[in-house]
Structure 1
Amino acid sequence: MKQASSAIGNVSICFYGAGAMAEAILRGLIEAGLTRADRIIVTNRQNAERLRELHLQYGVVPAIGEQAKQDALRTADIVVLGMKPKDSASALRALAPLLRQEQLIVSAIAGLSIDTIMTLLGGQRAIVRTMPNTSSTIGLGATGISFSSSVSAVQQEMALAMFGAVGIATVVDEPLIEAVNGVSGSGPAYVYYLMEAMISTGVELGLTTEAARELTVQTVRGAAEMVASTGENPEELRRKVTSPGGTTQAAIDTLERYRFQEGMNAAILRCAERAREMGEAIRSEAIES
């Protein structure tokens, strides 16, 4: 393991919510040598068995029981919010009296704005809003990050280190976080949906399921790596493999007849719109309560 580096190696981190994303981040931090396992505390609403599993696998500290949970939240330097959007308003109101002003709050809750978090916590805070995706679980995540005005340069460095440990982290203005959600937050699902079609049609054409899957996975993997390694635009790479009158041209023409790109555009826009809707619902609940 590399020696802990950057400011994040000297602070304590409490994950409130111990789902797949929390596991991906804590594993990334530990495996990258950015911090020690005993500086990471995990807690959730009631699933103590899940906390024990994380302790056994990674050596992190489980906060089991109400008093242990409150102590962890009070004393941590960084609190990572990983609860479900529908539970966030009530959870944040309950957290408000436990948190200290100087703590860094990192949110991975879809749709939840910095302003709404401040409203629920009762005032100005150092808040990092993030939109990671599920590929973070294998260290290939893409995360959009926005900062409140109270986040210091050192705190920004720590937040970027956290999400850089599980992929890439890109700083964007907060109004663009919904765009990040539409493009990369939900993006893996679009690719999986495409792969489903490629595999099922391959089987329909006579390939075995195993062969269709292997060919599809390698094709998607290779295409992504071509874009990454060559630096060329996907449009240009597509043109290079699309001979006029050839088989690929016939396939692309068919996709255009079915308005493939129009459908993708609409899906991404709808995803971003839905994230805003979810955020507005949480904000309305916060204001009314």
Structure 2
Amino acid sequence: MKKIIFIGAGYMAEALIQGWIKKEVLTPQEIYVINRSDKERLQFLTQTYGIHSEFDESTYQQADIIILAMKPKDAVEAMQALQPKLAAHTTILSVLAGTSIETITHYLGDRPVARVMPNTSATIGMSASGIAFNEQISATQRTQFLQLLAAIGEVIEVEEDQLHAVTALSGSGPAYIYYLMEAFERVGTQVGLSKDTVRLLMTQTLAGTAEMLKQSVEEPTVLRRKVTSPGGTTEAGINALELHQFQAAIEACIKEAEARSRSLAKHS
């Protein structure tokens, strides 16, 4: 039986825990979680998922994988406290935005480290994850991590520097889509539909569009033009988006998020 310890009990940790248990990749008995101060949060996770939140120092020595999932601002302090407890064989998986492998090995020693940027859709097995490895990761460990992430969605191996872009795109991506849905619901009610009707129509529209992009060999530009009849309603809407510089806003959004990830890395 594996032993996996989460250091941190936030929403990303919960998304991974829920996704892995739901997909039966891990059992609750294999998962341990610790949080610096929020005991109510730990109680919620243990009661909801049946995982462990109370364990002694020997558990760290037996751990196969330590998952760094604390707030980035708490990372250095947490790693300093963690370092003396680790066994030589323990592998580190970090979900911390902006905290480099170099920083992790500085505090936790020269050991196998993987950095992954999943998103909260891991909860339902639909994450989009980018992962990077250091040179100490063995072929077996690489396969193990790829299988863990593939169980909760799509995973792609990237260079570590590319994780800044992954963070900005798919890591933060769900928030952008939820923000878009907020706008759809607000305007949909303004033009006479109920919020529930807008939610139903637009969630299906988003799901269908995503599936079309996955199945089609055509570029998004071509697919868009097929929906946009000259002089029609879609063209009128696209014209309004161009007037309000929609694509420029998206570009600014991603670049700002990517720059923030790089800034966090410099100060970690």
TM-score class normalised by the smaller sequence: over 0.9
Aligned residues: 268
Aligned residue identity for 1:61: H
Match of 2:83 among 92, 96, 116: 96
1:270 & 1:56 partners in 2: Cα distance? 38
For 1:83 and 1:150, the matched residues in 2 are separated by 23
* 1:254 aligns with one of 233, 240, 246: 240
2:254 to 244, 261, 268: 268
Q: Distance in 2 between matches of 1:149 and 1:76?
A: 21
**1:185-200 superposed matches below 5 A:** 185-200=171-186
Aligned residue number for residue 157 of structure 1: 143
Query: Deviations for 1:69-125, whole angstroms, at most 9, x for unmatched residues?
Result: x3332320100111001111111111111112321100001111101111222x322
Identify which of 22, 42, 59 aligns with 2:50.
59
Distance 1:118 1:172 in 2: 19
SS of 2:136's equivalent in the other structure is coil
- Separation in 2 of the partners of 1:57 and 1:267? 35
Give the Cα separation in 2 of the matches to 1:63 and 1:155.
27
Contact 1:17 1:44 in 2 (8 A): yes
Superposition RMSD in Å = 1.7
1: CA distance, partners of 2:19 / 2:249: 35
Instruction: Determine the C-alpha separation between the residues in 2 that align with 1:162 and 1:83.
Output: 20
Q: Judge conservation of contact 1:81–1:109 (CA < 8 Å) in 2.
A: yes
Q: Which residue of 2 aligns with 1:129?
A: 115
160, 165, 175: which one aligns with 1:179: 165
Gaps of at least 5 residues in structure 1 are: 1-9, 283-289
- Identify which of 1, 14, 20 aligns with 1:29: 20
The 3 A distance-change label for structure 1 pair 132 and 275 is same
Aligned to 1:85: 72
Check if 1:38 corresponds to 2:24. no
1:234 aligns with 2:225: no
CA contact (8 A) 1:25 1:162 kept: no
Alpha carbons of structure 1 residues 211 and 31: separation in structure 2 relative to 1, 3 Å: closer
C-alpha separation between the residues in 2 aligned to 1:33 and 1:208? 38
Q: Is the 8 A contact 1:74 1:100 kept in 2?
A: yes
TM-score, normalization: structure 1?
0.87
Q: Distance in 1 between matches of 2:107 and 2:231?
A: 59
Report the CA distance between 1:260 and its aligned residue: 0.8
- CA distance in 1: counterparts of 2:147 and 2:19, whole angstroms: 10
CA deviation after TM superposition for structure 1 residue 231, in Å: 4.1
Alignment-derived partner of residue 192 in structure 2: 206
The C-alpha deviation readout for 1:16-73, integer Å capped at 9, x for no partner, is: 1122222222233233332332222222213334334333333322225xxx2x3332
Please name the residue that 1:74 is paired with: 61
Identity, % of aligned pairs? 44
Alpha-carbon separation, structure 2, partners of 1:174 and 1:136: 21
Check conservation: 1:20, 1:137, Cα contact below 8 A: no
Q: Which moved more, 1:246-255 or 1:23-32?
A: 23-32
Q: 1:115 aligns with which of 88, 102, 106?
A: 102
The match for 2:92 among 105, 109, 128 is 105
TM-score of the superposed pair, with normalisation by structure 2: 0.93
- Say which SS state the counterpart of residue 243 (structure 1) adopts: coil
Deviates more, 1:27-36 or 1:266-275: 27-36
Return 81-90 or 29-38, whichever deviates more. 29-38
Partner residue, 1:280: 266
Q: Quick check: 1:25–1:165 contact (8 Å CA) kept in 2?
A: no
